[in-house]
Structure 1
Amino acid sequence: MRKWFTMCMTLLILSSLLAACGGNSSGTKTNDPAKPADNGTKTTDTKDVEIVFQSWITPNLTVAYYDSLINRFESENPGIKVKRIQPPANEGNPDSYLKSLLASGDFPDVVQNATIQMFVDADALLEIPIDDDIKKINNYEAEMINGKLYNISAIRQPQSLIFYNKKLFAEAGIESTPKTWAELEAAAEKLKAKGITPLLTAGDWTAGFTFSVMTSPDIYKDNKNWYADRFDNKVKFTDPNWIESATYYTNLVKNGYFNKGVLSIDYTAVEQEFLKGNGAMYPMGSWFSAAEANSKKDFEVGVFATPTKDGTQYLLGGENSGGYAVAKMSNHPEAALKFAKFMMLDPEAHKGILQADALFSNLKEPLKWDMSPLQTEIYELLLKNPPMVGHMNNKVGRVPVSGIQDQYNKVAQNILLGDTDVAKNMQSLDEYWDKNNK
Structure 2
Amino acid sequence: MKKWISILAAAMLVSALSACGGNSGEKAASSPANGSGAANSPTSGSEGTQASGDPVEIVFQSWITPNLTAEYYDGLIARFETENPGIKVKRIQPPANEGSPDNYLKTLLASGDFPDVVTNATIQMFVDADALLEIPIDEEIQKINNYEAEMIDGKLYNLSAIRQPQSLVFYNKKLFEQAGITETPKTWAEMEAAAEKLAANGITPLLTAGDWTSGFTFSVLTSSEIYNHNRAWYADRYDEKVKFTDANWMEAAEYYANLVRKGYFNKGALSIDYTAVEQEFLKGNGAMYPMGSWFSAAEAGAEKDFEVGVFATPTKDGTQYLLGGENAGGYAVSKNSKHPNEALKFAKFMMLDPEAHKGYLQADALFSNLKEPLKWEMSPLQAEIYNLLLNNPPMVGHLNNKVGRVPVAGIQDQYNKVAQNILLGDSDLTQLMASLDDYWDKNKQ
Same fold flag (TM > 0.5) = yes
Contact kept? 2:188, 2:316, Cα under 8 Å = yes
Letter in 2 for 1:371: M
User: What is the count of residue pairs matched by the alignment?
Assistant: 416
RMSD (Å), alpha carbons: 1.4
Match of 2:400 among 386, 393, 397: 393
**Residues 1:95 and 2:102 aligned together:** yes
**Residues 1:354 and 2:361 aligned together:** yes
Displacement of 1:61 in angstroms is: 0.3
**Residues 1:112 and 2:113 aligned together:** no
Displacement of 1:45 in angstroms is: 4.0
| Separation of aligned partners in 1, 2:191 and 2:351 | 38
Displacement of 1:79 in angstroms is: 1.1
Contact kept? 2:40, 2:337, Cα under 8 Å = no
Aligned to 1:421: 428
Aligned to 2:239: 232
| Separation of aligned partners in 1, 2:263 and 2:428 | 17
Aligned to 2:41: 40
| Separation of aligned partners in 2, 1:363 and 1:399 | 23
**Residues 1:369 and 2:369 aligned together:** no
| Separation of aligned partners in 1, 2:400 and 2:330 | 15
Letter in 1 for 2:298: A
| Separation of aligned partners in 2, 1:273 and 1:145 | 40
| Separation of aligned partners in 2, 1:285 and 1:312 | 19
Q: How does 1:132-147 map to 2 (within 5 A)?
A: 132-147=139-154
Contact kept? 1:52, 1:85, Cα under 8 Å = yes
**Residues 1:77 and 2:78 aligned together:** no
2:229 match: secondary structure: coil
365 and 45 in structure 1: CA distance in 2 versus 1, 3 angstrom threshold: closer
Letter in 2 for 1:332: H
Displacement of 1:323 in angstroms is: 0.4
Contact kept? 1:214, 1:249, Cα under 8 Å = yes
Displacement of 1:92 in angstroms is: 1.2
Which consecutive residues of structure 2, in runs of 5 or more, have no partner in the other structure?
Answer: 1-16, 23-29, 50-54
| Separation of aligned partners in 1, 2:78 and 2:171 | 38
Match of 1:337 among 318, 324, 344: 344
337 and 178 in structure 1: CA distance in 2 versus 1, 3 angstrom threshold: same
What's the TM-score once normalised by structure 2's chain length? 0.92
Aligned to 1:13: none
Letter in 2 for 1:161: L
Displacement of 1:27 in angstroms is: 3.7
Displacement of 1:18 in angstroms is: 6.7
**Identical pairs, percent:** 79
Displacement of 1:38 in angstroms is: 2.7
Letter in 1 for 2:300: A
Aligned to 2:64: 57
Letter in 2 for 1:114: A
Contact kept? 1:237, 1:426, Cα under 8 Å = yes
Displacement of 1:46 in angstroms is: 2.2
**Residues 1:203 and 2:210 aligned together:** yes
Runs of 4+ in 1 over 2 A off after TM superposition: 17-28, 37-46
Displacement of 1:28 in angstroms is: 4.5
| Separation of aligned partners in 2, 1:203 and 1:189 | 23
| Separation of aligned partners in 1, 2:18 and 2:97 | 38
Q: How does 1:165-314 map to 2 (within 5 A)?
A: 165-314=172-321
Give 1 or 2 for the bigger CA radius of gyration.
1
Q: Deviations over 1:401-434 (max 9, x none)?
A: 0000000000000000001111111000000000
Displacement of 1:25 in angstroms is: 3.9
Aligned to 1:10: none
Which consecutive residues of structure 1, in runs of 5 or more, have no partner in the other structure?
Answer: 1-16, 32-36
Letter in 2 for 1:178: P
Q: Deviations over 1:112-147 (max 9, x none)?
A: 000000000000000000000000000000000000
What's the TM-score once normalised by structure 1's chain length? 0.93
2:397 match: secondary structure: coil
